[in-house]
Amino acid sequence: MHIRKILSTLLLMTLLAGVMLAAGCQSGTPTNAPAEKVKVGVLYISPIDDGGWSTAHNRGFVMAENEIGKDKIEWVTKENIPDTDAAATETALRIMADAGCQIIFATSYNYMDTVEKLAKEYPEIKFEHCSGYKTADNMDNYFGQIEQPRFLSGIVAGLTTKSNKIGYVAAIPIPEVVRGINAFTLGVRSVNPDAEVHVRWTNTWFDLSLESAAANELLNLGCDVTSQHQDSAATLKAAEAKGVFGIGYDNPMGDAAPKAYLTAPIWNWGAYYTKKIKAVMDGTWSVEQYWGGMKEGMVGLDTLTDLVPQAAKEKVAEIEPMILEQGNDYVFKGPIKDNQGNEKVAAGTSLSKADQMGMDWFVEGVVGSVG
Amino acid sequence: MTDTTPLMVLAVFLASAVRYSMPLLVGTLGETVTERSGHLNLGVEGMMLMGGAAGFVTAIRTDSLVLSLLAAMGGAIAGALFYAVLTVTFRANQVVTGLALTLFGAGVANTVGKGAVHASTPPHIQAFFAWQPLRPDLSAIESVPVLGPAAVFLRTVLLEYNIYVYMAVLLAVVLSLLLHRTRLGLHLRVVGENPASADASGIRVAATRYGAILVGGALCGLAGLYLPLVHNGTWVENITGGRGWIVVALVIFVRWSPLRAMLGALLFGALEIIGFKLQGFPQLAGNPLFSQYIIGMYPYIITVIVLVANSARKKGGWRGPGALGLPYFREER
Amino acid sequence: MGGPVPSAECPAIEMAGICKSFGHVRANHNVGFSVRSGEIHALLGENGSGKSTLMNILSGIYLPDAGSVAVRGRHVAFRSPRDAIAIGIGMVHQHFKLVESMTAMENIVAGTGRGLRLDRQQARERIRAFSRRFEMGLDPDKRVHDMSVGEKQTVEILKVLYRGADILVLDEPTAVLTPQEIGRLFGILRLMRQEGHSVIFISHKLNEVMSLCDRVTVLRRGETVGTVAVADCTTSRLVEMMVGRVVDLSIDRPRVQSSGLCLSVRNLSVRDEEGIRKLDDVSFDLHHGEILGVAGLAGSGQKELCETIAGLQAAEGGRIAFHGNDILGRSPRDIIRLGISMSFIPEDRLGMGLVAGMDIADNVMLKDYAFRPGLFLDRTAARKKAREIVSRLSIDTPGIFHPVRKLSGGNIQKVILGREIDLNPKLLITAYAVRGLDIHSSYTIYRLLNDQKVKGVAVLYIGEDLDVLLELCDRILVLFNGRVTGIVDARSSTKERIGLMMTGETPRAEGWQVPLPVPPLPASNACPVADRLLSPDSDRTMPAGPDGKGGGPC
């Protein structure tokens, strides 16, 4: 009896130890760092090979590393920390802070409050929070105007569709996503006023099966071009399986569905990351609430593939300089009606930044509802 | 060429519900076998992940479907064996062990699958699962009024599936017969109902339980393989997304019956995708009952209702395997 | 080797020099036991005498430390029950090992045969054939949970026969049966004897042994006392062999002048948490100086009756009046304070009433402390009391600081009863007080109960053994499925009639006290009815009306 108890306890402990190791944290080796190295912490919501959001950030950090020099930066990274789990977030951030990180990037919206809390506790560490709005002496936020390439990808979709039905698989009904749908739809309608954009919410950033289920529902409705605010290529794959076209997100996604891929609005965080890490090394770091657009190179449109009609290529080439010049003012230029027919932005004006940040209504041409 | 008549919309919906129900069905069949032996293995999620990772990685490395299937079963059996050794031989707490297996399986699977993220199912395996062996050619009668649409409807609902779907249905029928019509099934049920009785009758309790747990694990592995290999065509971390837990609920929902498992899985599969159908009705927008979050809870809500109804059953009614969750000690003095 | 050559003369079973120890407890020491073909052989002995150990060795559950077992002249060494079954020895356990949700056939067939195919029709036919041969009347397709206890036992026996056993070991088979079912069982066993089967009948009920068996082997303290032919033997001789000295087996039943009505129960109904009715319209009276027995099959509502009176279970309807005051709905603590004491010995004996890890003194204090003033426990008083109880009830213990868990069953039960009696109750409820006790301890407990009765305490005695109920109690209330099928005078009724009532039959004969309608509850115990009914002779029964219903004079 006793031996059995001991044995089973041992086995269970082995099992659990395995769990710890397997689920555990892939952190850089922080030991014995030469003093001239800068220690950078990065907190990711998903694995860096998710092919979406985290991959895009990782792409940026790889670029920064190449710019600054592999031997100059030491990384402490935590992947797969759900931003809805405040305890896990705090643990991960503390590990980074205690490991001696000088700057910590938290790359998801809901990390915000925990970052704010830790920023107070560790005034000597610079905290960089992505997509939020809170700042402090040592806490900055940064984001990009992905609406700009989304508008351009809308032009591509509007000139590609035959059925005039375009599907949009959307993650979670928050202003960021709504803004993206609206920018895309404005792009579509700027070249094809008859086209409609049908929206399906998955309420998740990342779930292959749900994303493909939503995509299939849209394709069954007759949509012949898809767009997405999701971090996986599931929507593109569904479009490819149906023999129609799709627009990706986050990163170039051509490899996942070469027969369907038109283009994608993509993130290029590298320039910003390089700048901020260098600033810490130089001692010039400051809070700037960075919101970069295409002009700053923070966001962009992936190269249009050969599947894109010539007319669309030409139209994009025509509009892109204006966006580079006017930014979001071009994207959200009046007159804009919401999809109930109410005028939201008068002709001759543009939607204010505050209204963009809190957008909770759909523009004309979107079929669906917010939430 | 999308047909948007209400009938065809329904047909297409039912057919996708069937496709979405597959990992649930096969997992439920596996867990049913396990639970019928009296062991509650909550590690379904872990075993599905282990099977899925092992099978998918094998598929992209070897390009062989057979090896992939064997690896999927093998990976999940490894997890099930852990569970069996701990709970049958060492009589560890089944719930705790099952939970540990869930975490352990996810960790192992995500590590194993690291290199396979974003790889695609090999083309010939993709083609194999795109093959619809029973799909008849209806071009001759398609334009006949009434008969034509009816035939197309039935074909869409019943005959446009890949071989995995038909094998799963066959498996459910075979398991049901095995359970209720054969000596093996009788022995399994006696072990699950009353191991002391089985022991006194000369049935090998531990061996039967090991067998049931390992077979259950193998099926969970095949269920886990469906998602990356067949359904999504690629591997990502935690690809099961909680379906293992739905399976645990489903087994109770269908009251440990392989035949009812088909209906239960279909219902839960439909619940998984019905939200997207409902979003097409703007008049439902804002109604909390139809929000995607709430719809995601329906499988669990339904299961809780079934659990309550089950325990309110009159005395003498069957409430599931009598020894479920209990370790067996031969009476020792 | 030189084992005996198998021949027709050979005994079916020959066990010699069997020794088996558990730790330093010698369960069997040099036991010899021999059974002939075609005989019913009783294995008699008190609890702990080594019967079970011996039979577990015979059925392959235990390996003996020493000694030999021969079956039909051939030496055998069983390693598991499967080996024993294979050679034709089948054990029918006291606690049924059946799957309730399955049919008789499924239960019987499970574990037999090879291969995947299960020929239900053939199995059914074989079972029917056995059932006809031994006049069992069993429906192979009936589900076990729909069966009576007797039928379940038949399934257990058939299970053994189906496996080809011709040597059957029955462990206390009559413990849970009604007299009618016992009669049927004996019929089946006699038919088996005719067919040449050997039956080993483990029991401690002497009258059953006398009426059924051919020979008896008596064990005492792990050793064989001897084997005798029943024909050459008397009950008292068997008891002497069992106990080791002459024991007077008659139970006293003093006649006591009642001092009035103690407890009145009217139309009591109780449902369990699953909504199943456990007590249905139960009415009875209990007087001071009286022992009212409660008979019934296991689970007929005995437990609920005790618990409802003790305040541990809520009632759905009805009244319980103690000295005229309604106590239904009062807390257990209030009820104890009123002078109602309950001891319930569950099947595992340790489940209720005592904290197994604590010593006798603490357990005694457990019930008493609540009624003493002050914050601190008076341990000295409790110790004194514990010593009193130990000496008065001759509890066999190294001391009052010995953990209760380490005492033997009989001593534990004495502690429970001693503690209750010590509270000087006016009403003492005891359920299964002698469960599993040896003869000597049982008689000590009967004597204790009679002492209480003589002191004027009203005793509600829930029992299993009908012989004891008939000898000890003044009246017997019979429960069936939570309903009272009758209250009879113990001095004038028979086991057979009570047995019938236990299965739901309500006899309407002279001398039977039928509970309905019971007189309305008197406002207090000053009601003349109570006195008239009880005095001067507690043997008197309530006069039955012409329609068999009790005439209520109040």
Contact B2 A23 (CB under 8 A): no
Residue of C20, C87, C99, C117 to mutate when probing chain B, most B C-beta within 10 A: C99
Q: What is the pairing mode between strands C475-480 and C291-295?
A: parallel
Task: Return the number of other C-beta atoms located less than 10 Å from residue B138's C-beta.
Answer: 16
Helices B205-225 and B183-193 cross at an angle (nearest 10°) of: 100
In this complex, which of B237, B276, B292 lies closest to A217 when CB atoms are compared? B276
In this complex, which of C91, C116, C163 lies closest to B182 when CB atoms are compared? C116
Supply the mean pLDDT for chain C: 81
Strand partners, C219: C224
Contact C99 B197 (CB under 8 A): yes
Q: What is the pairing mode between strands C475-480 and C483-489?
A: antiparallel
> Is the pLDDT score of C6 beyond 50?
no
Contact B190 C101 (CB under 8 A): no
Contact C82 B202 (CB under 8 A): yes
Output the CA torsion sign for C311, C317, C323, C329: positive
Contact B199 C112 (CB under 8 A): no
Backbone φ and ψ of A208, nearest 5°: -50, -50
Supply the mean pLDDT for chain B: 90
Q: Which residue of B has its CA nearest to C272?
A: B315
Contact C99 B322 (CB under 8 A): yes
- Give the span between the Cα atoms of A177 and A161, in whole angstroms: 22
Q: What is the pairing mode between strands A299-301 and C475-480?
A: unpaired
Q: Which residues of B touch A209 (CB under 8 A)?
A: 20, 227, 231-232, 239, 241, 272
In this complex, which of A16, A207, A222 lies closest to B241 when CB atoms are compared? A207
> Is the pLDDT score of A183 beyond 80?
yes
- Runs of H (alpha helix) within C195-345: 206-212, 235-243, 302-309, 332-338
* Joined tokens for residue C38: 């075609």
Rg, Å, chain B Cα set: 21
Contact C118 B196 (CB under 8 A): no
**Contact at 8 Å (CB) between A91 and A108?**
no
CATH number given to B6-313: 1.10.3470
Residue of B292, B328, B329, B333 to mutate when probing chain A, most A C-beta within 10 A: B292
- Give the span between the Cα atoms of C329 and C332, in whole angstroms: 9
**Contact at 8 Å (CB) between C286 and C458?**
yes
Residue A24 binned pLDDT confidence (cut-offs 50, 70, 90): very low
In this complex, which of A16, A206, A220 lies closest to B12 when CB atoms are compared? A220
Contact B198 C113 (CB under 8 A): no
Number of residues that this document lists for chain C = 554
Backbone φ and ψ of C338, nearest 5°: -70, -20
Contact C101 B318 (CB under 8 A): yes
In this complex, which of B186, B200, B333 lies closest to C97 when CB atoms are compared? B200
Q: What is the pairing mode between strands A103-106 and A126-130?
A: parallel
**Single-letter residue type at B102:** T
Q: Which residues of B touch A198 (CB under 8 A)?
A: 280
Name chain C's partners: 3 or more CB pairs within 8 A: B
* Joined tokens for residue A190: 């700027």
- Give the span between the Cα atoms of A281 and A39, in whole angstroms: 10
**Contact at 8 Å (CB) between C437 and C405?**
no
Write down the number of H helices and E strands in chain C: 17, 21
| B255 at C interface, C-beta within 8 A | no
Which residue has 């067996």 as its token pair? Answer: B328
Residue of B190, B191, B201 to mutate when probing chain C, most C C-beta within 10 A: B201
Please report, in angstroms and rounded to a whole number, the separation of the first and last CA atoms in chain A. 58
Contact A4 B90 (CB under 8 A): yes
- Runs of H (alpha helix) within chain B: 6-36, 44-62, 65-84, 94-112, 123-130, 147-154, 163-181, 183-193, 195-200, 205-225, 243-253, 258-278, 292-311
> Is the pLDDT score of C23 beyond 50?
yes
Report the gap between the CA of B178 and the closest CA in chain A (Å): 32
- Give the span between the Cα atoms of B21 and B17, in whole angstroms: 6
In this complex, which of B9, B104, B293 lies closest to A18 when CB atoms are compared? B104
Please provide the DSSP assignment of C427-490 as one string: EEEEESTTTT--HHHHHHHHHHHHHHHHTT-EEEEE-S-HHHHHHH-SEEEEEETTEEEEEEET
- Give per-residue pLDDT as tens, C60-103: 888 899 999 999 989 999 888 788 888 999 888 878 889 988 99
Q: Which residues of C touch B202 (CB under 8 A)?
A: 81-82, 85, 111-112, 163
**Contact at 8 Å (CB) between A172 and A131?**
no
Report the gap between the CA of B326 and the closest CA in chain C (Å): 15
Per-residue pLDDT at B317: 64
- Give the span between the Cα atoms of A106 and A109, in whole angstroms: 8
Smallest CA-to-CA distance from A84 within A205, A195, A201 is with: A205
Name chain A's partners: 3 or more CB pairs within 8 A: B
In this complex, which of B189, B198, B322 lies closest to C111 when CB atoms are compared? B198
**Contact at 8 Å (CB) between A83 and A75?**
no
Helix (H) or strand (E) holding C13: strand C13-22
In this complex, which of A11, A51, A203 lies closest to B86 when CB atoms are compared? A11
Per-residue pLDDT in tens (0 to 9) along chain B, 333 residues: 456 788 888 999 999 999 999 999 999 999 999 999 999 999 999 999 999 999 999 999 999 999 999 999 999 999 999 999 999 999 999 999 999 999 999 999 989 998 888 788 999 999 999 999 999 988 888 888 888 889 999 999 999 999 999 999 999 999 999 999 999 999 999 999 999 888 888 888 999 999 999 999 999 999 999 999 999 888 888 889 889 999 999 999 899 999 999 999 999 999 888 888 888 887 777 777 777 677 778 888 887 887 787 777 665 567 788 889 888 877 543
**Contact at 8 Å (CB) between A80 and A47?**
yes
DSSP state of A284: -
Q: Which residues of C touch B203 (CB under 8 A)?
A: 110-111
Backbone φ and ψ of C38, nearest 5°: 70, 30
Q: Which residue of B has its CA nearest to A339?
A: B282
Q: Which residue of B has its CA nearest to C147?
A: B316
Report the gap between the CA of C118 and the closest CA in chain B (Å): 5
* Joined tokens for residue C48: 């702990």
Report the gap between the CA of B299 and the closest CA in chain A (Å): 15
Per-residue pLDDT at B59: 96
Residue C546 binned pLDDT confidence (cut-offs 50, 70, 90): very low
**Contact at 8 Å (CB) between C421 and C339?**
no
- Give the span between the Cα atoms of C93 and C538, in whole angstroms: 42
Backbone φ and ψ of C227, nearest 5°: -120, 130
Helices B183-193 and B6-36 cross at an angle (nearest 10°) of: 70
Tell me the average pLDDT across A245-259.
Answer: 93
How far, rounded to the nearest angstrom, does the alpha carbon of residue C219 sit from its chain's CA centroid?
21
- Give per-residue pLDDT as tens, C503-534: 887 655 444 444 444 445 444 443 333 333 33
pTM: 0.79
CA distance to A64, A77, C458, C476, per residue, from A70 (Å): 9, 15, 94, 95
How far, rounded to the nearest angstrom, does the alpha carbon of residue C445 sit from its chain's CA centroid?
15
- Give per-residue pLDDT as tens, A135-148: 999 999 999 999 99
Per-residue pLDDT at C510: 43
Give residues with Cβ within 8 angstroms of B45, minimum separation 6. B102, B105, B106, B240, B242, B243, B244, B245, B247
Rg, Å, chain C Cα set: 26
- Give the span between the Cα atoms of C224 and C216, in whole angstroms: 11
Q: Which residue of C has its CA nearest to B323?
A: C99
Smallest CA-to-CA distance from C404 within C355, C462, C333 is with: C355
Smallest CA-to-CA distance from C190 within C175, C212, C162, C170 is with: C212
Reported ipTM: the value is 0.86
Contact B316 C145 (CB under 8 A): yes
Q: Which domains does chain A have, with CATH numbers?
A: 38-144+269-292 (3.40.50.2300), 147-264+302-367 (3.40.50.2300)
- Give the span between the Cα atoms of A249 and A302, in whole angstroms: 9
- Give per-residue pLDDT as tens, A83-141: 888 999 999 999 999 999 999 999 999 999 999 999 999 999 999 999 888 999 999 99
Contact C111 B201 (CB under 8 A): yes
Q: Which residues of A touch B106 (CB under 8 A)?
A: 22-23
DSSP state of C516: S
Planar angle of CA C460, C463, C466, nearest 5 degrees: 120
In this complex, which of C22, C85, C118 lies closest to B183 when CB atoms are compared? C118
Q: Which residues of A touch B52 (CB under 8 A)?
A: none
Contact A23 B232 (CB under 8 A): no
**Contact at 8 Å (CB) between B14 and B157?**
yes
Contact A19 B100 (CB under 8 A): yes
Check contact C-A (3+ Cβ pairs < 8 Å): no
Q: Which residues of A touch B224 (CB under 8 A)?
A: none
**Contact at 8 Å (CB) between C209 and C238?**
yes
Check contact B-A (3+ Cβ pairs < 8 Å): yes
